[in-house]
Every structure is written in C-alpha cells, then in structure tokens.
Structure 1
C-alpha cells in the first residue's frame, strides 16, 4: 500500500487521513492513535483504573510518566474522546505541549483563562462530567516558576477543570504539583505486544517481511512503539515492493553492525594509538553517531565475558562521562578517541 495514495474502500488501511479544506491528505502512521480506551495497547493496570474513573465520572488530576512511545498521550486523548465525544472535545479539552510553551506567561494566560472559563453547554445528548480537561504534554520541560503557578491554578479551579500532566521524567516535576495528581507509570511495551502491533500494521498496509525483520525493528526501537512504527514506515517506503529484511531495518534505524563494534573493542587490546585512531576514524567516516557507538559498545561490554566485573564498572563509568560530554555538545571524534584510549588502559 503506497503511503501517498488514497486507500480503496475495499481494503482497510492503517494510514491515517486528515481533512484539510475538504480534501484528504496523508499523514504519518504514528498519527493513527487509538480512538477509544479499548484500542490502547498494553498498560493494562492504567487502562483498568481509568475505565473505573470513566464509569464514575470522578476524575482526579493525572500525572502520566514513562519512556517515550509508550502511549501516554494516546491514552489520555482516547479517554477524553470516550468521556466527551468528538463534539464536545473541542470545547472541553485543551492540549498544550509544554516543551514549546513552558514559561510562566503561558500558565497565566492560556492555561488559566481556559481553566476558569465556564463549562460549555452539553447539547450532545450524552452523559458527561461537568468539567474540562487540560493536557500538558512534556510537562517536565516546564520551568519551576511555571510549575509553581500551575499548582495555584489547579487549586483554584479544580471544581471545573482537571489537569493531566505528561512527562518522561517524574523527578523533574516539583513535589507540590506531583502530590496533587494520581500518578500512572507507563512501562515499555512487551516484545510480544509490540510485535503483534507491528504485524497488524504490516497486514493493513500490505507489507511483506522476512523472519527476524520485526524483531530487529523492536530491538532498534527499544520499547518505543512510535519509533518502531516510523522505522517500519521508512523501510517500507525505501524498499517498496520488496520484503523487509533485518539488514534493511538496521540501515534505516542507524544500527551499527556487530562486526564494527567488535573491531572497536578489539582495538583496545592492541594498546596502539595508531590502531585505535584508525578504528575510530573508520567509524566516524562511515557516518555512525557517537551516541549510537557508545550505546552499542556499552551493550557489548555488559554482555561480554572477557572483561571482569570491575572492568565493566570502570568502562560504564567512563562511558557515562563521555555521553555527558556528547550531550553538552563536545566534538564526537575527539570524545570517541579519548574514550578508546582510556578504555585500552582499563582493560590492560
């Protein structure tokens, strides 16, 4: 199934289509979010509790946290759709991405104005609770002042407005704010459920794949279903009319071949600066990311039997320091070379 062509009525498709001025336009597969709570994959404990809240219509403030791509935003959007219906969602639900609008001014203007506004008239004929919902995605990117202002807003308008904070790192949410919310931890999707979801997408889009291809997608995405879906769509577009293979997925995901990682770790034994520099130069010239190299070297070290527990701990500490430097914007080539030279001394 072509991503850019309109699907026929005879065949269902997982490709989402949105209306723009009366015309259909294709959008990425990751936008095919669950339409209701029954469509949410995994997270059984969270879904069970939220369904109870739906039945009683007594919803507390919510705090969803966990790794990206585990269904946090999709779950709350599916819940609000079940709660209000598509007609009332426009007036009852405000969704903001706090990573873009994270200052105190946004809290004082957009959030506060929406929170204190009266609840819109319910003309849909369905039973729904008498309050609105404000969804703040990436709430851990909000400044401390903005979070403090949000706490006061939550206190003043809790009778007519509920808040749902979504974040990756709950430790970055101030305690006065977190204590006012019911916390729900979203776990990485199990391999079986991720594979079943990807197989469903392949069936809907007419994608053929060889054995091991979906396993490679799951390994490369590290439990992130959104990333896995993007890998699958990118590979399908690149290898149209071909069966997807594990090497093809590795190429799309930027996974470094195991042989290249073995060459880097083997260079430690040489104790030669020239040999180490050659291995690093070849990896950099091949276009591999330094972050990806460090990540896969870390996995190789942890699984390797040729290093002692003390050496593994020392190498992990060294890789943590290098990863911090890379995150701060240090030169990748120099950081990799420095890491390799220090690692060669540790494994002596």
Structure 2
C-alpha cells in the first residue's frame, strides 16, 4: 500500500512539474490544455495504481506530443549566420529567415554552385551569400571580419551550425580512418571552432546558438559509427556549452532531425566513390570475411534510406526558426519520424529489446557478409 501511495505521489509531482514547465516557461496549446485537464480529472476517477500510470502517460504526452510555440521575438534588426546553405536544411532556413526579415549570412561550400546562385537570385538585400568551408580557418576568419563590419555594436543574434557530412553507412571495421577524421572535422570540430570565434558577438546580443545533431548521435545505429560518434560529440559539447552560456544570456539549442531527404545522402558519383574507398582501405582479412559483393551492396542501403526519407524539410526549418526567435526556446527539438520515439525506447527499454528493434530497422538484410553465409 505504501509503495502504491508513493508511486501516485511521484506521478502527480511529475505531472505538475511537466504542466508548469509546458505552460509557464514554454507556452501551451489547446491540445496541451486538454491533456492537462484530462490528467487532473483522472485524479478523481481512477484507483490509485491506475491514477499514477495515467498521470505519467499525460506527462509523456505533454512532453513529447503537444506543440509548444509560445511568444516569438521580433525579427527586425537581428542577424544570423547559417552554415551549409548550399542545399538541404541550411538552404531552406536561409530563405525562411530572409522572408521573416532577419539579416542572413548564408555560408556555402561553393559560392559559385547552384545552391548559392539560387539564394542570390532571390535579390534580397538581407541575404548575403558567403564562401565558407567550415574546415578552413582562413575562410572562417574572413567571414568573421565581414560580419563584424556588418553588425557593429549590435552583435550577432544567431549561429546555426548546420554543415555536415554523412559518408556511406558501413560496418565500423570497414570504414576508412579518413572517414572518421572527416566526420569529426566537419560535424564536430568545425562547430566548436565557429562557436569560439563568434561567441563574443553572440554574447553582445545575448543571442542563440543552434547546433544540428542527429538521432544517430543519441541512439547507436549500426553502420553509422563515424557519423554517430561525431554527432554525439557535438551533442555533449552543446549540452555543456548551454550550461556555461546561460550566465551570459546566450541560449544553446540542439536540433535532432530524423528521416529527411537532403544532399547529405550524396549522388550516384558519391556511391561509386564510397565503394572504391572502402575496397582500397580495407585489410585483406576483412575483405575476405565480408566479401566484395557485400561491400559493394552497402551504398545501395544509402540510396534506400534516401528514398524512404521525407522530402518536406519544413518541420526542421520551423523548429530552427523557433529556436532562434522564441522567447523560451527548447533545449532540444526532435522533428521527423521516430526522432523522439527511438531515443526514448533506447533509454527506457532493456538493451536486448532496443538493440533488436534497431537492428530490425537499420541493418540491411538483402546481403550478408561472405563469412556468415552458409556454403
């Protein structure tokens, strides 16, 4: 009886705290209000044991399902630097922020490329396309000096570290060490460097840092070791930086998308190159155990993932906009299918259960390593 009572009190406390967090600090919605009213009503209807379970369920819905938009800041007079604007999330965000009236500095890997040209053709004075290879310290410094002359005493309001690379999903043993270095350099170290360079301007405006991570940085996904490790590093860096920057009034937010089709999946030329690089770097023993047929089949998994991903990037872009302009931005946004569900299952389920589910979802079954096939 005492255990049941304790469980009910803990569930009620969690529900009340979640309700306060959602509506006082984050702003509520009609759906959230209905869930709150339902939870309060259940306290008077259900027996103690079921009451606790119901309250925890309502807390879950309030946390992960209901929208929390709240009051937004005025866009005028604010400047944002976005990396990786050649295509994908960065390209769409640069357009969206420009339409909202913000001054946008869109960093691109190729200033003469098609994506950069599309941004310039918009003819907006508030959208400046800048050459920015995030791994090039000289280009970072050039962009920094230019932005300093543009924002002057107002500072930079936002930095969106969006640039990233994926490589080809491959078994950890087969991935060339150069892939690990490339992922860490682009996905993690470049974001650290940009934060260090631009934080003086961000502190001046008490602005925002938005770092784009990945579900692979929180959930161990087979064949995503180099990518997942780099995104996990960025996630931990961002969480620590958020605590350090709160005393300066700078907000640090994570965007953790799941299941969106962008150019990060590469093209047909990339697929061929991935296979050649793996075959050239792998040891003779591993080549024999895995087999050339299996290794050559891996880029097909990348193409299949791309086809199954959503082409609608608006959920990610809207969350980025909210992170930049909301009075109360969230610490973490999880747009996309399973972007919040799979991490939750990974944290809450026994390892055997979560790993079984992940393998069923992410390990290709069309081809197996030669050493595992029966003769």
> Does TM, scored on the shorter chain, surpass 0.5?
no
Per the normalisation by structure 2, the TM-score is 0.29
Q: Which has the larger radius of gyration?
A: 1
